[in-house]
Amino acid sequence: MAGILKVPGAFDVTPHKVSLCILLQVYASPNQLFVPFPFSSFAQHNRLGLFLLALTKSCDDILEPKLHELINQSREIGSSSIDWLADHLISRLSSLSSPDDLFNLFTEMRGVLAGQDAGIVEDDQIILDPNSNLGIFLRRCILAFNLLSFEGVCHLLTNIASYCKEVLSSRAPHEAHLDGSGVNLMEASEYENMDLENLVFEKVTEEIEAKKKAGERIPFHLHVPTPIFGLVEDIELSAKPTFKQSTKGKEAISYAMTLDGSSGAVDHGFFLRSNWQIQGYLLEQTDAIEKHGSSFPLNALEFMLGQLQKLAPELHRVHFLRYLNSLYHDDYASALENLHKYFDYSAGIEGFDGIPPSSGFNNSGRYEIALLCSGMLHFHFGHPKQAVEALTEAVRVSQQHSNDTCLAYTLAAICNLLSEIGISNASGLLGSSYSPVANMGTSLSIHQQLFVLLKESLKRAESLKLKRLVASNHLAMAKFHLMHVQRPVLSFGPKASMKLITSPINVCKELRLSSNLISDFDIESSMMITDGSLSTTWLKNLHRQRGSSVIFEETEPGNRSNASSFFSQPNSIPGSVSQLVGASYLLRATAWEMYGSAPLARMNALVYATCFADCASSVDAAVAYGKLIQYLAAYKGYKAAFAALKTVEEKFISVSKSQIMVLKLQLLHERALHRGHSKLAQQICDELAVLSSPVTGVDMDLKAEASFRHARTLLAAKQFSEAAAVAHALFCMCYKFNLRVQDASTLLLLAEIHKKSGNAVLGIPYALASLSFCESFNLDLLKASATLTLAELWLSLGSIHAKRALTLIHSALPMILGHGGLELRARAHIAEAKCHLSDASFSVPETSGVVLDSLRQACDELQILEYHELAAEAFYLMAITFDKMGQLEEREQAASSFQKHIMALEKVTDEEDPLLK
């Protein structure tokens, strides 16, 4: 039905193996004397033996070396007799002109083996023990040859002809006499016309060069050629353990050519080695795609996959890779198509275990995984409704087939989905068809449902011992605790305590639990096998297969270098695990950022960037770098931030464009606001808004951010009523989509707007509301900032409230000075100074030190930020203070600084910003 899948590791006779046999014959020819003819010493003879041993070990590669490569390799034996060997090999091969010659060759081979009944064995006779490695190899070859049908023999013959035609044509002038190669030569010239190999190769090099030009350095060393080079490095394992280094580059290129050129319709087929090897290659590609996301070269991989599909049409995993590839390049149609194709062909079974599809018909396939994947696909493309449908169906089907593993993963996926889409989206989704939560009754809010689901999924994962899933569930739990107000789930009524507060302790606990994963993996690395169900983890399964074969080989003596090159990663912790652990650090950074501890947030981001960058997906890495840069901007000013941004941009050339892009726009916007370029700020703001997806309910963070900045821009342009309107709309949206943190900051912004518009009485309630929000969500820094705003509001109500304002400021100061950014600190300082100045009981000479100190600090900080407006204010206050103190010179100085800032603010020079390009 589904074609005949070649048994993995099927042993066919290939031209390469025939040449090995010929060499073996030379090595152990039965009728030779003590040291066989071409060799001058034992050492040489032994070296040939070792060489052959290495070659036989590596005969299960994807690619077999071509004849000239084999000859080149054999030169490394470094004997004078090599030329003779090569000539002998070529002449033997090219003399095979009829099937009968092949038959004779293999009959001769039998003579090389010493049979049990060989009788007396002379002492100095060289005999190949039939049970030695070489002997077994030879016997396998003979057996495989004997199994061939006549057609098979004919194929072998044509393959041999094309195998040696290249060498022959290069040697043509002086070796033409060797055999009747006239015909071969003619054919060879005909093949030379096909420039396909070169063409492809040229294309690849061109692309490499183009990339190089585009970005000086190639940071990840992972651009176009990687699929090929990665493949090659994987293959190279073998054959030449001792003399690999010298020729590495060259070899790599020629391999790459042969694989690409195999589309050339001539001699492919006999380069296809074992399935496991190709699957190993696919495994690496999958990892690479997931890691690098959209920066992964779409077409290069697509091309390789096309080639592979031609070579191995029954290898359906290629479709899966295509799916992944187009998924990460946001090609919806093709992703959907390939996903369905993969599961239609393989029934989701291929890759789980070695069962060939023909025997797989008895069970009903793993279509629940198809559903899971299609759910994720819809989620990825922002179709929450479809995603929920698919995942619900996945739950049902996996319950039907009692596939608990898949069920656990599906539940986790649903949790993820629920926590990502906003509440207003979800409420319409969860109709009666929503079985996982249907039994919980409708009285529960989405959050409570999500919480219950998370718990359930966590329990299930724990009982199934899916370590990675447990860890990621813990992470999800932490995220939940971070973002949501904890409410008792199942106790209702007036008596239930309704304390609304997020629980940082739980967050911390969950994060720690998720990090336990890494120690688990140290202890028992075999547990990963059970994870076989998630879309990509079938590949892990394969990893295990390969791994076990490595262990097996290692028990055999003398070939360690081979074995170690099997490992692409020498450490025992798989990439996905360290990715998860890394994610926990990233989440920690985010948590601290929200709770308001800048140093801790920065530290965690740094840990992530330094320790997990190599296994992180490029998106995550970009987030971490973004956090660090934002930190720089807030604490060190824009110069430092932009310098850092530049390096990061280079690092992620085209990678996760939007992440870095958003960051850059944010910084630019911030700076434009500070400098007073409101037109520019508005422009940037619009650009930011364009980046988000037009679909409602998707990219909510970005949308909220854009509209928040819009309001701020309007505020800076003194269009208060518009600003208030925008902020109000934003608040409604955030409330609707359950973005609580944004709610708090929006309230604060509203307070700010009212403060600036001189309507302090209106502002106070907003500030208070924001304060209470911050308290319940443990947003300490934001709370400090809200307190500051409240103080400013009080202050603007008149000098009688100066005392109250001052107490407020003092209460917030520790937090602000410890964790606040430059702007916040400066504002606090100015506010404090203002309080002192407006206080009736204030006497200049006594307290001027305090005032001047804080004002000076504020000035320094604001100058770093180039925040002209506030800086002008600070200098103004300073000038007044100096005036009161009678220090005229300093007063003049301050006044001129004030003038400078005001001027800068007024002449909004449209100096072309190089970064905006």
Partner 1 sequence: MGSKEICRNELRIAVRQLSDRCLYSASKWAAEQLVGIELDPVKFTPSNTRFQRGSSSIHRRFRNNEITSTPIAGVSYVSTPVMEEDDIVDGDFYLLAKSYFDCREYRRAAHVLRDQSGKKAVFLQCYALYLAGEKRKDEENIELEGPLGKSDAVNKELVSLERELSMLRKNGSIDPFGLYLYGLVLKEKGNEHLARNLLVESVNSYPWNWSAWSELQSLCTTIDILHSLPLNNHWMKDFFLAGAYQELRMHNESLAKYEYLQGTFSFSNYIQAQIAKVQYSLREFEQVEVIFEELLRNDPYRVEDMDMYSNVLYAKECFSALSYLAHRVFMTDKYRPESCCIIGNYYSLKGQHEKSVMYFRRALKLNKNCLSAWTLMGHEYIEMNNTPAAVDAYRRAVDINPCEFRAWYGLGQAYEMMGMPFYALHYFRKSVFLQPSDSRLWIAMAKCYENDQLHMLEEAIKCYRKAANSNDREAIALHQLAKLHRKLGRLEEAAFYYKKDLERMEAEERDGPNMVEALLFLATHCKDQKRFEEAEVYCTRLLDYTGPEKETAKSLLRGMRIAQSGFPSMSAEHFPP
Q: Return the range that interacts with partner 1 (CB under 8 A); candidates 360-368, 552-560, 661-669, 887-895.
A: 360-368
Find the shortest distance in angstroms from Cβ 433 to partner 1.
Answer: 5
In the bound state with partner 1, the residue whose beta carbon lies nearer, of 345 and 625, is: 345
State in angstroms the smallest separation of the CB of 314 from partner 1: 6
Cα separation, 410 vs 375, whole angstroms: 9
Tell the smallest beta-carbon distance from residue 349 to partner 1 (Å).
9
Closest CA to 710 of 733, 730, 740, 693: 730
Stretch of 336-344, 485-493, 544-552, 707-715 contacting partner 1, by CB under 8 A = 336-344
- Decide: 792 and 805 in contact? Cβ < 8 Å: yes
Half-sphere exposure of 4 (CA within 13 A, CB side): 3
Shortest reach from residue 261's CB to partner 1, in Å:
13
What SS3 state is found at 831? helix
Distance in angstroms (rounded) separating the CA atoms of residues 607 and 286: 26
DSSP H stretches of helix in 612-699? 618-636, 638-651, 657-675, 678-691
Task: Looking at 129-195, list the stretches that DSSP marks H as alpha helix, in order from N- to C-terminal side.
Answer: 133-147, 150-175, 182-192
Candidates 75, 140, 203, 310; binder of partner 1 (CB under 8 A) is 310
What angle is formed at CA 285 by the lines to CA 281 and CA 286, rounded to 5 degrees? 115
In what helix (H) or strand (E) does residue 467 lie, and over which residues does it extend? helix 467-483
- Per the structure block, which two tokens stand in for 19? 């040449």
Q: Which residues does 843 contact at the CB level (< 8 Å), separation at least 6?
A: none
Q: Near partner 1 by CB under 8 A, which window of 306-314, 529-537, 663-671, 839-847?
A: 306-314
Q: Does 311 bind partner 1 (CB under 8 A)?
A: yes
- Tell whether residue 496 is a contact of partner 1 (CB under 8 A): no
- Would you count residue 344 as binding partner 1 (CB under 8 A)? yes
Among 89, 126, 141, 370, binds partner 1 (CB under 8 A): 370
- Could you say which DSSP state residue 353 is in? B
Rule CB under 8 A: is residue 433 a binding residue for partner 1?
A: yes
The minimum distance between CB 333 and partner 1, in angstroms, equals 11
- Type of residue at 634: A
Give 265 or 500: the residue with its C-beta nearer to partner 1. Answer: 265
Which residue in the set 31, 116, 131, 149 belongs to the binding site for partner 1 (CB under 8 A)? 149
**194 sits near partner 1 (criterion: CB under 8 A):** yes
Binder among 321, 347, 411, 734 for partner 1 (CB under 8 A):
347
Alpha-carbon gap, residue 613 to 582, rounded angstroms: 8
CB closer to partner 1, 267 vs 593: 267
CB of 694 to partner 1, least distance (A): 23
Interaction with partner 1 in 539-558: which residues (CB under 8 A)? none
Stretch that binds partner 1, among 234-242, 353-361, 647-655, 838-846 (CB under 8 A): 353-361
How is residue 75 written in tokens? 């030169």
**Contact between 190 and partner 1 (CB under 8 A)?**
yes
Determine which helix (DSSP H) or strand (DSSP E) holds 305, and give its type and residue range: helix 298-311
Q: Give the closest residue to 322 by CA, choosing from 289, 291, 277.
A: 289
306 token code pair = 């096309």
Q: Is 360 in the site for partner 1 (CB under 8 A)?
A: yes
Nearer to partner 1, 270 or 876 (CB): 270
Of 244 and 383, nearer to partner 1 (C-beta) is 383
Query: Which residue of 68, 139, 248, 340 would you call a contact of partner 1, by CB under 8 A?
Result: 340
Binding pattern for the stretch 378-397 against partner 1, x by CB under 8 A and - elsewhere: --------x--xx-xx--xx
* Shortest CB 397 distance to partner 1, Å: 6
Euclidean distance between CA atoms 314 and 862, whole angstroms? 66
Q: Bridge-partner residues for 486, per DSSP? A: 501
> In whole angstroms, what is the distance from residue 224 CA to residue 297 CA?
6
* Phi, psi angle pair for 56, to nearest 5°: -65, -30
189 touches partner 1 by CB under 8 A: no
Smallest gap from residue 354 Cβ to partner 1 (A): 18
Establish if 331 lies at the interface with partner 1 (CB under 8 A): no
Q: How far is the CB of 431 from partner 1 (least distance, A)?
A: 7
Least CB distance from residue 485 to partner 1, whole Å?
33
Cβ atoms within 10 Å of 404's Cβ, excluding its own? 16
Query: Which residue in 79, 226, 374, 472 binds partner 1 (CB under 8 A)?
Result: 374
Which one of 40, 80, 400, 610 is in contact with partner 1 (CB under 8 A)? 400
Contact present, 135 and 20 (Cβ < 8 Å): no
Alpha-helix residue ranges (DSSP H) falling in 757-843: 760-777, 780-796, 802-819, 822-838
Long-range contacts of 397-406 (CB under 8 A, 24+ apart): 397/367, 397/368, 397/371, 398/368, 401/364, 401/366, 401/368, 403/366, 403/368, 403/533, 404/460, 404/464, 405/464, 405/466, 405/530, 405/531, 405/532, 405/533, 406/366, 406/368, 406/369, 406/372, 406/533
Structure tokens at 443: 């009285």
Name every residue whose Cβ is closer than 8 Å to that of residue 742 and which is 6 or more positions away in sequence: 704, 708, 730, 734
Measure the CA angle with vertex 470, ends 469 and 473; round to 5°. Answer: 85
- Interface with partner 1, residue 249, by CB under 8 A: no
Q: Specify the residue, 433 or 572, whose C-beta has the smaller distance to partner 1.
A: 433
Residue 36 touching partner 1 (CB under 8 A): no
Helix (H, G, I), strand (E, B) or coil at 570: coil
4 touching partner 1, by CB under 8 A: yes
As measured in angstroms, the least distance from the Cβ of 395 to partner 1 is 11
Instruction: Please report whether residue 148 would count as binding partner 1 according to CB under 8 A.
Output: no
Among residues 407 and 802, whose Cβ is nearest to partner 1? Answer: 407
Q: Which stretch binds partner 1 (CB under 8 A): 262-270, 566-574, 644-652, 837-845?
A: 262-270
Per CB under 8 A, 306 contacts partner 1: no
Tokens of 119: 């009788």
Which residue from 371, 517, 616, 734 is in contact with partner 1, where contact means CB under 8 A? 371
Q: Give me the least distance between CB of 265 and partner 1, in Å please.
A: 5
Report the alpha-carbon distance of residue 246 to residue 249 in Å, rounded: 8
* Residue 8: strand, helix, or coil: coil
Q: Which stretch binds partner 1 (CB under 8 A): 1-9, 223-231, 418-426, 845-853?
A: 1-9
Q: Is 183 in the site for partner 1 (CB under 8 A)?
A: no
Distances, alpha carbon 2 to alpha carbons 322, 358, 367, 375, in Å? 20, 7, 17, 27
Q: What are phi and psi of 493, to 5 degrees?
A: 95, 170
Of 49, 152, 230, 547, the one binding partner 1 (CB under 8 A) is 152
Residue 592, interface with partner 1 (CB under 8 A)? no
Nearer to partner 1, 191 or 243 (CB): 191
Asked if 345 is part of the footprint of partner 1 (rule: CB under 8 A), the reply reads yes
Say if CB 559 and CB 553 are below 8 A apart: yes
Instruction: Please count the residues of this chain forming the interface with partner 1, following the rule CB under 8 A.
Output: 45
489 binds partner 1 (CB under 8 A): no
Stretch of residues binding partner 1 (CB under 8 A), selected from 127-135, 335-343, 572-580, 612-620 = 335-343
Shortest Cβ distance from residue 589 to partner 1 (Å)? 38
User: Which residues between 763 and 792 bind partner 1 (CB under 8 A)?
Assistant: none
> Per rule CB under 8 A, is residue 364 in the interface with partner 1?
yes
For tokens 């698919």, the residue is 390
Binding positions for partner 1, rule: CB under 8 A: 1-4, 149, 151-152, 155, 190-191, 193-194, 265, 268-269, 310-311, 313-314, 336, 340-341, 344-345, 347, 357, 360-361, 364-365, 367, 370-371, 374, 386, 389-390, 392-393, 396-397, 400, 431-433
